[in-house]
Amino acid sequence: MTAEIGTDIGRVAAFLQAGQVVGIPTETVYGLAGNALDADAVLTIFRVKNRPAFDPLIVHTDSLEKVSQFVSTIPAPARQLAQAFWPGPLTLLLPRRSVIPDLVTSGLPSVAVRIPHHPLTLALLRALPFPLAAPSANPFGYISPTTAHHVADQLGEQIPYILDGGPAQVGLESTIVGFDEQGPTVYRLGGLALDQIEAIIGPVSVRTHSTSNPAAPGMLSSHYAPRKPLILLPPGQSPPPADRVGALVFREPFGGIPADRQRVLSPGGNLNEAAKNLFAHLRALDSLPVDMLYAEPLPNQGLGFAMNDRLRRASVRE
């Protein structure tokens, strides 16, 4: 039996209150959601995704006031960012209260929290008496889903319902920012560009990779990967002409590769459009009868930094 796809918030809330996990839309990617305060529900998330327990989860809620129930302090720069960008593709790493199960944070003292910018999911969160833990709704390490049908294709036989909110409008996971005595640190590049963050709180350091025991979600060096081997090309380099390869390009197709085996992220060169298309195009290429994929790097500006980060990790083979 496969998951039902629909827009019935009441049914989704009933599944969640019964301790089950469901697919939900956000502006970044689709999430696999369960009651963040119920360790059994959180364990189900890890099991369905086949996600290692040392990789922490993000807790989603619908107001800054509710966030205060789950964290012990909100530093001034964190509050400034929350007021500027929530709801939105920003996750804050903050000291947790004991109400958050150890399993959510992988035993770490901080919890990742955010308010998603999607009307259906915000309405769902307002209807629930608990926050939702929700990593991306895909098998661990694979390309993140940006539509309800992506979720159904990968996890549909393991969950009862997928809330359909249409295609994700950002298409990249949230940017994660933490705070310590050294100042603000970006732990994951994502749908909120670095320059937007620095315009609010000034310079931040960036620490985005971890091979084991990550400090925040999405830091593992190998992640977001298609099943086919992916090669990230050096800037300005083209792949060798071949029939059984696919290519992900920014604006214009490569010569020497059939057009139907290439996907263009943004013919007009718009990085926001490219980010919205990134995971869907990677997924489409991965389904083609090819042996290998090539990807062209994006300009290192705005959301280009985060997309290049995803492509680098998708190309890692452990």
Q: Is 98 assigned a ligand-binding role in the annotation?
A: no
The tokens of 83 are what?
A: 């007021």
Instruction: Provide the pLDDT for residue 215.
Output: 66
The tokens of 257 are what?
A: 């590769």
Q: Is 266 assigned a ligand-binding role in the annotation?
A: no
Q: Is 136 assigned a ligand-binding role in the annotation?
A: yes
Q: Where are the beta strands (DSSP E) in the chain?
A: 4-6, 22-24, 31-35, 58-60, 90-95, 110-114, 132-133, 161-163, 175-180, 183-188, 205-206, 230-232, 245-249, 262-264, 292-295
196: pLDDT strictly greater than 90: yes
Instruction: Provide the pLDDT for residue 181.
Output: 84
Q: Is 315 assigned a ligand-binding role in the annotation?
A: no
The tokens of 215 are what?
A: 């400090």
pTM score, two decimals?
0.90
The confidence band for 221, taking pLDDT boundaries of 50, 70 and 90, is low
Q: Is 208 assigned a ligand-binding role in the annotation?
A: no
Q: Is 287 assigned a ligand-binding role in the annotation?
A: no
Fold of 4-206: DHBP synthase (3.90.870)
For the chain, the structural domain boundaries read: 4-206, 230-314
Superfamily of domain 230-314: Threonylcarbamoyl-AMP synthase, C-terminal domain (3.40.50.11030)
Q: Is 126 assigned a ligand-binding role in the annotation?
A: no
Please write the tens of the pLDDT for every residue from 156-187. 999 999 999 999 999 999 999 999 888 999 99
255: pLDDT strictly greater than 80: yes
Q: Is 106 assigned a ligand-binding role in the annotation?
A: no
Domain 4-206 identical in fold to domain 230-314: no
**What is the average per-residue pLDDT within 52-76?**
94
317: pLDDT strictly greater than 70: no
Is 282 within 8 Å of 265 (Cβ atoms)?
Answer: no
**According to the 3-state scheme, what is the secondary structure of 240-287?**
CCCCCEEEEECCCCCCCCCHHHEEECCCCCCHHHHHHHHHHHHHHHHC
Q: Is 144 assigned a ligand-binding role in the annotation?
A: yes
218: pLDDT strictly greater than 70: no
Instruction: Provide the pLDDT for residue 51.
Output: 86
Q: Is 188 assigned a ligand-binding role in the annotation?
A: yes
